[in-house]
């Protein structure tokens, strides 16, 4: 089978690597150059979008910010999975909140801000601190304003108004800041026949607003069940097909949805070593109408992102339970360049290995990650 992925970054590349053994070929549409290429050899140009649509048995996306005309063309072919509507929900916080309300999925109290009147309404309905998030094109903590003190109100409105005026399609979601204990996420998939499988939740740590460490959680039955129920309600509601991630804030033993990503997700990269079938293979299986693979945790596993670096100490390659994944990208500060999956036969062994890694990774680039790991292990 042949699959066209909209987006030609590391997620398309990892899908291609994961399904090669199933004789499934992936081509990727680069939204920048508007060309279709081989994600494992990006210099090999395959053709334009029309060629890619023709080639594909199924079409899917690796990210939610795909131009709507591209989505419409793909949908018209009858091959796009999930639907363009599902992809758009992930790219517009207003639609996302609407879906959460429809599914009665707990989330932070919020107000949609379009103008001064709705800004004042947000101040009335919510208490400080409030986080304002751009409805479109916001990711990794970008496009956000935090209002902590009343004295910042007029300056915040000035900035929001400027932002709203810059793009007529934009909007802002004002959200109550939640005093959460930790951030967790659930990655799972829904097959073409409605079959649902989810991986164990992961605990996520961020560095400068970007995910930097994910730890697969075992034995957290209560929140795992809560998260699975939300996943089931959301994906059934939109007849979703493929992998989807839900990010949550944990407050006590309650989960509040923060964001939905209608795609494979960075917090699911650990599944390459910690599960029989990884999120990338399962996503392609789902969109191709194939049975989903096992999503159970087969050994304790964690993932560390390599941000802004194109080398790590060579000795990591000889360490047991360590798998390094590079994305073949050129170096830029803070850029997701690769990740390291670390596994152990037991949680204790995984912790020992993570501790050793935190001693080896240079503090110049990994200080925050090393400090987090040392606090955990």
Tell me the window of 41-49, 75-83, 170-178, 291-299 that interacts with ligand AMP (CB under 6 A): 170-178
Can you spell out the DSSP letters for 302-330? EEEEEES-S---GGGGGSTTEEEEE----
Member of 1, 70, 177, 371 binding ligand AMP (CB under 6 A): 177
Binding mask 186-215 for ligand AMP (x = CB under 6 A): --------------------x--x------
Helix (H) or strand (E) holding 255: strand 254-261
Report residue 22 as tokens: 């199933």
Minimum CB separation from ligand AMP for residue 266, in Å?
12
Minimum CB separation from ligand AMP for residue 175, in Å?
4
Regarding 246 and contact with ligand AMP (CB under 6 A), the answer is no
Regarding 92 and contact with ligand AMP (CB under 6 A), the answer is no
- Burial zone of 9 (CB within 10 Å; 0-12 exposed, 13-18 middle, 19+ buried): middle
Please tell me whether residue 320 adopts helix, strand or coil conformation: coil
d(C-alpha 240, C-alpha 85), whole Å:
10
The separation between CA 102 and the C-alpha centre of its own chain, rounded to angstroms, equals 22
Cβ-based nearer residue to ligand AMP, 138 or 344: 138
Regarding 175 and contact with ligand AMP (CB under 6 A), the answer is yes
Tell me the window of 130-138, 272-280, 314-322, 323-331 that interacts with ligand AMP (CB under 6 A): 130-138
d(C-alpha 218, C-alpha 299), whole Å:
10
How many CB atoms lie under 10 A from the CB of residue 114? Answer: 14
d(C-alpha 343, C-alpha 321), whole Å:
5
Regarding 141 and contact with ligand AMP (CB under 6 A), the answer is yes
Cβ-based nearer residue to ligand AMP, 103 or 178: 178
Cβ-based nearer residue to ligand AMP, 137 or 309: 137
- Range 249-278, binding ligand AMP (CB under 6 A): 258-259
Regarding 108 and contact with ligand AMP (CB under 6 A), the answer is yes
Regarding 178 and contact with ligand AMP (CB under 6 A), the answer is yes
Tell me the window of 177-185, 186-194, 307-315, 359-367 that interacts with ligand AMP (CB under 6 A): 177-185
Regarding 61 and contact with ligand AMP (CB under 6 A), the answer is no
d(C-alpha 74, C-alpha 58), whole Å:
10
Regarding 131 and contact with ligand AMP (CB under 6 A), the answer is yes
Minimum CB separation from ligand AMP for residue 177, in Å?
4
Pairing of strands 322-326, 336-343: antiparallel
Contact present, 334 and 308 (Cβ < 8 Å)? yes
**Upstream peptide bond of 82 is cis (omega within 30 degrees of 0):** yes
Contact present, 171 and 94 (Cβ < 8 Å)? yes
Pairing of strands 2-6, 25-30: parallel
Residues contributing to the site for ligand AMP (CB under 6 A): 108, 131, 133, 138, 141, 175, 177-178, 183, 206, 209, 258-259
């Amino acid at each position: 089978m042949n699959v066209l992925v909209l987006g030609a970054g590391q997620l398309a590349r990892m899908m291609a690597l994961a399904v090669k053994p199933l004789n499934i070929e992936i081509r990727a549409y680069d939204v920048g150059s508007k060309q279709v290429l081989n994600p494992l050899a990006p210099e090999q140009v395959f053709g334009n979008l029309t060629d890619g649509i023709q080639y594909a048995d199924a079409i899917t996306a690796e990210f939610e910010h795909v131009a709507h005309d591209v989505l419409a063309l793909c949908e018209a072919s009858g091959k796009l999975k999930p639907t363009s509507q599902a992809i758009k929900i992930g790219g517009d916080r207003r639609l996302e909140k609407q879906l959460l309300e429809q599914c009665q999925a707990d989330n932070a109290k919020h107000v949609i801000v379009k103008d001064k009147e709705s800004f004042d309404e947000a101040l009335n309905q919510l208490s400080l601190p409030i986080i304002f998030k751009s409805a479109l094109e916001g990711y990794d903590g970008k496009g956000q304003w935090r209002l902590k003190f009343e004295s910042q109100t007029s300056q915040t409105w000035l900035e929001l108004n400027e932002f709203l005026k810059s793009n007529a399609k934009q909007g802002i979601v004002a959200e109550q800041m939640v005093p959460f204990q930790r951030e967790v996420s659930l990655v799972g998939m829904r097959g073409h026949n409605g079959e649902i499988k989810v991986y164990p939740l992961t605990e996520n740590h961020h560095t400068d607003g970007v995910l930097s460490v994910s730890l697969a959680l075992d034995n957290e039955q209560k929140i795992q069940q809560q998260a699975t129920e939300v996943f089931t309600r959301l994906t059934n509601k939109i007849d979703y097909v493929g992998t989807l991630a839900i990010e949550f804030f944990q407050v006590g033993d309650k989960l509040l949805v923060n964001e939905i990503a209608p795609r494979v997700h960075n917090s699911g990269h650990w599944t390459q070593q910690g599960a029989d079938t990884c999120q990338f293979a399962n996503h392609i299986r789902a969109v191709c109408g194939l049975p989903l693979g096992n999503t159970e945790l087969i050994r304790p596993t964690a993932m560390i992102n390599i941000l802004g670096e194109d080398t790590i100490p060579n000795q990591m390659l000889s360490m047991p339970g360590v798998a390094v994944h590079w994305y073949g990208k050129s170096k830029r500060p803070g850029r997701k360049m690769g990740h390291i999956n670390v596994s152990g036969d037991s949680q204790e062994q995984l912790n020992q290995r993570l501790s050793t890694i935190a001693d080896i990774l240079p503090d110049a680039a990994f200080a925050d990650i090393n400090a987090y790991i040392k606090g955990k292990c």
